[in-house]
């Protein structure tokens, strides 16, 4: 378990913590929710799904993140009533994420923080917070994902009938943006511009035509 240096964020539970019979005392009150999300991450995010619409895991990075011990979970009790309040709670986690190792290099893409909100019954605030912060986070090279029992409104990229952002507990996930994230960013000029600035010269082959078209729309050079 990792403890925030100033105590402004709740502890981060590490994958190794789940190997024991009990989680550390500091997070014991929310052990059922933490274990439920940890199991969901390994079984659902890290595995294939018949409705996904493509081969491979629902989230291609989760399994490696778990294996490397870079998949962190934290709990914020209470019921934030609006996106601004939830955004303020996330600020400390966002800054903490930036300071956690590895900060650079290929391994950094597997670093993830999930912040759970087990007391939330109004899941829309999770969606609205993600919408509020999406542009800001992408400018920083981060992705912010929203998950909740919902079911979530967003459809899958490969199967519109699939709702991939379903989770057992409402949560927001912070990770580094990677070149394959363009499909999640293409519908907003601000996030497209952030993507092009960061990855314009190293776009995956299967995305190059789509990224080039977006770059032309924004009159921004893209990688060939």
Spatial neighbors of 116 by CB under 8 A, at least 6 apart, are 30, 33, 34, 37, 73, 74, 75, 76, 169, 170, 171
Q: Where are the domains of the chain?
A: 15-177, 179-224
The pLDDT tens digits for 209-222 are 999 998 888 875 55
Which residues are within 8 A (CB) of 92 and not within 5 positions of it... i.e. 6 or more apart?
4, 8, 9
pLDDT, tens digit (0-9, with 9 covering 90-100), for 39-77: 999 999 999 999 999 999 999 999 999 999 999 999 999
Q: How far apart are CA 212 and CA 197, in angstroms?
A: 13
The parts of the chain modelled with pLDDT lower than 50 are 224
């Amino acid at each position: 378990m990792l403890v925030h240096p100033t105590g402004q964020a709740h502890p981060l539970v590490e994958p190794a913590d789940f190997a024991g019979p009990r989680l550390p005392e500091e997070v014991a009150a929310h052990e059922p929710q933490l274990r439920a999300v940890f199991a969901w991450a390994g079984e659902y995010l890290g595995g294939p799904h018949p409705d996904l619409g493509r081969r491979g895991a629902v989230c291609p990075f989760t399994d490696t993140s778990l294996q490397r011990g870079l998949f962190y979970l934290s709990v914020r009790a209470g019921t934030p009533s609006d996106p601004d309040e939830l955004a303020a709670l996330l600020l400390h986690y966002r800054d903490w994420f930036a300071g956690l190792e590895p900060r650079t290099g290929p391994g950094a893409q597997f670093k993830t923080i999930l912040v759970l909100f087990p007391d939330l019954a109004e899941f829309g605030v999770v969606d609205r917070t993600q919408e509020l912060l999406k542009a800001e986070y992408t400018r920083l090279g981060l992705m912010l994902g929203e998950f909740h029992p919902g079911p979530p409104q967003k459809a899958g990229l490969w199967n519109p009938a699939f709702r991939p952002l379903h989770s057992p507990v409402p949560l927001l996930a912070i990770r580094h943006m990677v070149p394959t994230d363009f499909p999640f960013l293409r519908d907003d000029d601000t996030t497209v511009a952030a993507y092009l600035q960061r990855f314009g010269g190293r776009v995956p082959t299967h995305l190059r035509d789509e990224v080039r078209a977006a770059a032309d729309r924004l009159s921004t050079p893209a990688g060939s």
